[in-house]
Structure 1
Amino acid sequence: MKWIDHTIWWQVYPLGFCGAPIRTGDHSPAPRLRRLYNWLDYIIELGANGLLLGPVFESETHGYDTTDHYRIDARLGGDEEFDQLISRAHERGIKVLLDGVFSHVGYRHPLFQQALVEGRDSAAARLFDIDWEADGGPQPRVFEGHGGLVRLRHDAPETVVFVTDVINHWLDRGADGWRLDAAYSVPPQFWAKVLAGVREKHPDTWILGEVIHGDYPAFVSQSGVDSVTQYELWKAIWSSLKDENLYELDWSLKRHNKFLETFTPNTFIGNHDVTRIASQVDQQKAVVAAALLLLLGGIPSIYAGDEQGFTGVKADTVDGDDAVRPPFPPSPSELLPFGEPVFEAYEALIGIRRRNPWLVNARVDRLDLDDSQYRMCVYATDSDEFLVLHLEQGGRHVKVYRGEHDLLWSTYSWSGAIA
């Protein structure tokens, strides 16, 4: 088994987590990344062993409008803070994944500004997708209608070289892998060319592509990424629990079984772009969702705060992500006690996963399903080991068994359970 098969990611959006100003225009240098040092032991206590970072590179506002891929955002610190974070994480056996924004850059990116000044025949211009014939002068093509997000030109060899160099630069500095933001918006052939140059230097790195919908196995095959974000299962988990329609979950698990034949998906019930699971459903069902996340096949990532029962609703406004990207206290000791029962549940469920490492590639067979309950067998493909998960009361409770009768854990006995 590769190192990724044993990895459980704890995902952090650093600018929010560390309390950096997002939209004020204040880019005063401050070593805020150091706040994460205090949370590394917490990751281990939880049972995770991976730190999946959101964007940490110089940007205009929220991190996804990068202006320098080679520089740590001044609002977070600098090279010293990054190197220390990598070193301290690795000392604890924690892998670190970086977030690469290579679909687009921020409008004020120096190379884009240089392209506008020097014109379409310049070296800088070959990196960007610019409509040079537009009324009123050259206009960049932008990412999903966002005027401040300028598209890179993905059919240009120069862009392949640029992105390959950025990825290798930070892998050389100690990162263990990359999440490719908005990978779905970039031709898979581009990623294939980039990753060929990455794996030549770093054959053990792990590459995760953000893909929301579509043919996941085809994207993995054509792009060369190791995994993609399993949004289908994410939606099925919260939606089936919210509507108490366990047939939706069953349908998606059949699809999930097929995906696992080709690659191991990144599974999640929350991230920096979506409403918190405890706001989609109540706290009790959020713990049932955690059981599904941690006891089904896949490479799970836990969005920081979900394991404490954090709530937050994403809104379609300029500041609509703020509620799901809040600042965290300087250390775990300052967390409020209300999240302790949820943390306890996560610890127990991660403990079961750690004792059953075959779960990373496990498949699911339906045993019983009706309007109120779903009993499934989660089984190993290379041995006779299996667990039975029994969702009851429309998904309000879950029981976890080894075999048919050995009860390992249940929301009925969980300290935060609601009858």
Structure 2
Amino acid sequence: MKKTTGTGKAVVYQVFTRLFGNTNTTNKPWGTIEENGVGKLSDFTQKALKEIKGLGVSHIWYTGIPHHALIRDYTAYGISNDDPDIVKGRAGSPYAVKDYYSVNPDLANDPHNRNLEFKELLSRSHKAGLKVIIDIVPNHIARKYEGKNNPKGVVDFGANDNTSVVYDKDNNFYYNPGESFLVPDWRNGYQPLGGENINLADGKFSENPAKWTGNGSRLSKPDFNDWYETVKINYGISPDGHRDFASLPEDFGHKNFSEHFEFWKNKEVPDSWIKFRDIALYWLDVGVDGFRYDMAEMVPVEFWSFMNSSIKMKNPDAFLMAEVYNPQLYRDYIFKGKMDYLYDKVEFYDSLKHIMQGHGWTDHIPVVQNGLMDIEHHMLHFLENHDEQRIACPEFLGNAEKAKPGMVVSATISTSPTMIYFGQEVGEPAAESPGFGSPSRTSIFDYVGVPHFQRWVNNKKFDGGQLSPKEKELRTFYRNLLNFTINSSALMGKYKDIHFYNKDHTEYYNHRVLSFVRWSENEKLIIISNFDAGQTFGFDLKLPREIIREWGLQDSTYQMKDELFKEKELSLFVENQIGHIRIDIQPLESLILSII
């Protein structure tokens, strides 16, 4: 049963843009660009992009493109200096955007031409066959936002706000009239810039009246653990919860994006809605193919209906993915909010992490998957991103090899996109103490190098020339797996759990093993993963009668090959409409068996 090549799963490669091409290995805590270096847009050469594409990637998410608050003097380029008292780290958080119509000047060889250099990167990415995703952070913006590159007619955030009231529908922010903003008390040994004495690091920032903070804190002096570097955007929800915008009819989850667009067409909406819609449409015009939305559940679903339908009217193929961590909200944000994909963290990732760490049974995975079957295509799978611990760090697994079965399951169990984070494919452990950031997560706040990944960059040859044999083997595993997924018709087809059937009917089948089947008209797959790091399992895996009938198999013998490494060929025996296949699966091994 030979498969035919067709459109398979989407694979997103998240890359922290300013870290990708940085070859500096100093990694001084709180170091400057001169000390620790920084990557540039130009580091994404055709060679680099070809290698990323060759890993089995369809979309590249350039994290940290919009200009965000940072500590570096760009006044020669018409950019004001930012205050260290309201910036996290020296390089700054990419989620404290300072100017939505401009590119982070750190990324440009010539900051005057930073937007042009990004357009050139877009062109190179598209030429390499990659779709491009960038961030939009609709819930909050930098405390010192300055839209100095606004297109004609675009009024800056807060410029027309009535600051004498806490709330007004068309205010972009919430205010504490009569109160001035006070910087938080830094704790846990942190000081702005690690204690470096510069003029602006004085424990003060002028903001009068004080605005509410990005995570919703209403305090004029937010806590250190609040998102104090940002301010909350007002979407027309009053402090007491009243909503000054139309509600979507209950049945609107079943309507398409054009019907959502028509619903909002002649309705008055809050000013912040218009501002963020226009930001998205601007970047679509630049050539971006989609967006990743930060903390989407903190913004009303009606706004997403308005925003995403406007985007889809301009580009029906735009790739829209978002952070939503409350499972009770998933379906509203997918159907009413017209999101394409949501992070599958709280149920799938968290369960898989528990199993990979040796605490949980694989029994939980089919239960989670079955509970999401109506929306499984929309639940984006990952094992790493910039918010999560690196697999290879001691706090997660301490060994990148231990994630192999989890990665196979994550990438093959559903039709949803798969996302990996740059450096994951070579086992980056994020061991540095870079300043504001902390070990276990590659810092998004500091100028740092990424040591294991730098060995793949190999002085910008992008050929893995400095990787260890183990790191090369790991990258080969990811390349084989991801390239198979983007070409597999079965992985865009049907799914059936056979784990519980085998637990009931198969001797020696273990709860550290997981098995399921995927199929299309032209491709039939049996997928088995062993999550145990020390034990080989041998058993007679069985396919139930309903699968044998669904696949149209007769009582006979069928040859199967492993699609992951092409080294194994096994025999599937069908007798009395029950399938039998002898499996001997090594520690941390996975098999993706297809009928030849």
TM-score, structure 2 as length reference? 0.61
Aligned to 1:301: 419
Q: Are the counterparts in 2 of residues 130 and 138 from structure 1 also a CA contact under 8 Å? A: no
Aligned to 1:252: 368
Is 1:140 matched up with 2:211?
yes
Aligned to 2:60: 51
What is the DSSP-based 3-state SS (H/G/I as helix, E as strand, rest coil) of the residue aligned with 2:61? strand
Q: Are the counterparts in 1 of residues 8 and 485 from structure 2 also a CA contact under 8 Å? A: no
What is the DSSP-based 3-state SS (H/G/I as helix, E as strand, rest coil) of the residue aligned with 2:49? helix
Is 1:80 matched up with 2:116?
yes
What is the DSSP-based 3-state SS (H/G/I as helix, E as strand, rest coil) of the residue aligned with 1:146? coil
- The 1-side partners of 2:542 and 2:473 are apart by 21
- After TM superposition, give the deviation of residue 228 of structure 1 in Å: 0.7
Is 1:218 matched up with 2:221?
no
Q: Are the counterparts in 1 of residues 96 and 141 from structure 2 also a CA contact under 8 Å? A: yes
Q: Aligned to 1:42, which of 51, 76, 101? A: 51
Aligned to 1:351: 483
- The 2-side partners of 1:82 and 1:186 are apart by 28
Rate the CA distance shift 1:48–1:324 in 2: closer, same or farther, 3 A: same
Partner letter of residue 276 of structure 1? R
Q: Aligned to 2:530, which of 378, 392, 405? A: 392
Q: Which has the higher contact order (CA 8 A, sep 6+)?
A: 2
Rate the CA distance shift 1:10–1:208 in 2: closer, same or farther, 3 A: same
1:155-211 superposed Cα distances (whole Å, 9 cap, x missing partner): 262111111111111111111111111112111111111122222222221211111
Rate the CA distance shift 1:114–1:217 in 2: closer, same or farther, 3 A: closer
Equivalences for 1:52-131 in 2 at 5 Å?
Answer: 52-60=61-69, 61-77=92-108, 78-110=114-146, 115=158, 119-120=162-163, 126-131=170-175
Alignment RMSD, CA only? Answer: 3.9
Rate the CA distance shift 1:13–1:346 in 2: closer, same or farther, 3 A: same
- After TM superposition, give the deviation of residue 109 of structure 1 in Å: 0.3
Q: Are the counterparts in 1 of residues 7 and 488 from structure 2 also a CA contact under 8 Å? A: no
TM-score, structure 1 as length reference? 0.84
Rate the CA distance shift 1:336–1:313 in 2: closer, same or farther, 3 A: same
Structure number having the greater helix percentage: 1
Rate the CA distance shift 1:164–1:384 in 2: closer, same or farther, 3 A: same
- The 1-side partners of 2:430 and 2:127 are apart by 33
Q: Are the counterparts in 1 of residues 366 and 497 from structure 2 also a CA contact under 8 Å? A: no
Aligned to 1:287: 404
- After TM superposition, give the deviation of residue 284 of structure 1 in Å: 2.3
Partner letter of residue 353 of structure 1? T
- After TM superposition, give the deviation of residue 345 of structure 1 in Å: 0.7
Aligned to 1:191: 304
What is the DSSP-based 3-state SS (H/G/I as helix, E as strand, rest coil) of the residue aligned with 2:141? strand
**Which range is displaced more, 57-66 or 282-291?**
282-291
- After TM superposition, give the deviation of residue 115 of structure 1 in Å: 3.9
Aligned to 2:466: 336
- The 2-side partners of 1:401 and 1:341 are apart by 31
Rate the CA distance shift 1:362–1:331 in 2: closer, same or farther, 3 A: farther
- The 2-side partners of 1:341 and 1:190 are apart by 45
- The 2-side partners of 1:335 and 1:48 are apart by 21
- After TM superposition, give the deviation of residue 18 of structure 1 in Å: 4.2
Aligned to 2:354: 239
- The 2-side partners of 1:113 and 1:314 are apart by 38
What is the DSSP-based 3-state SS (H/G/I as helix, E as strand, rest coil) of the residue aligned with 1:377? strand
1:197-249 superposed Cα distances (whole Å, 9 cap, x missing partner): 22222222121111123231222112111111111212222211212521232
Q: Aligned to 1:164, which of 260, 267, 277? A: 277
Instruction: List alignment gaps of at least 5 residues for structure 1.
Output: none
Q: Are the counterparts in 2 of residues 103 and 151 from structure 1 also a CA contact under 8 Å? A: yes
What is the DSSP-based 3-state SS (H/G/I as helix, E as strand, rest coil) of the residue aligned with 2:107? coil
1:64-84 superposed Cα distances (whole Å, 9 cap, x missing partner): 100100000100121222111
Instruction: List alignment gaps of at least 5 residues for structure 2.
Output: 1-5, 70-91, 109-113, 148-154, 181-207, 216-225, 237-268, 444-448, 504-508, 544-550, 552-557, 569-585, 590-596
Q: Are the counterparts in 2 of residues 364 and 376 from structure 1 also a CA contact under 8 Å? A: no
Is 1:33 matched up with 2:151?
no
- The 2-side partners of 1:16 and 1:150 are apart by 26
What is the DSSP-based 3-state SS (H/G/I as helix, E as strand, rest coil) of the residue aligned with 1:75? helix
Partner letter of residue 17 of structure 2? P
What is the DSSP-based 3-state SS (H/G/I as helix, E as strand, rest coil) of the residue aligned with 1:346? helix
- The 2-side partners of 1:64 and 1:104 are apart by 8
Q: Percent identity between the aligned chains? A: 17
Aligned to 2:578: none
Partner letter of residue 64 of structure 1? Y
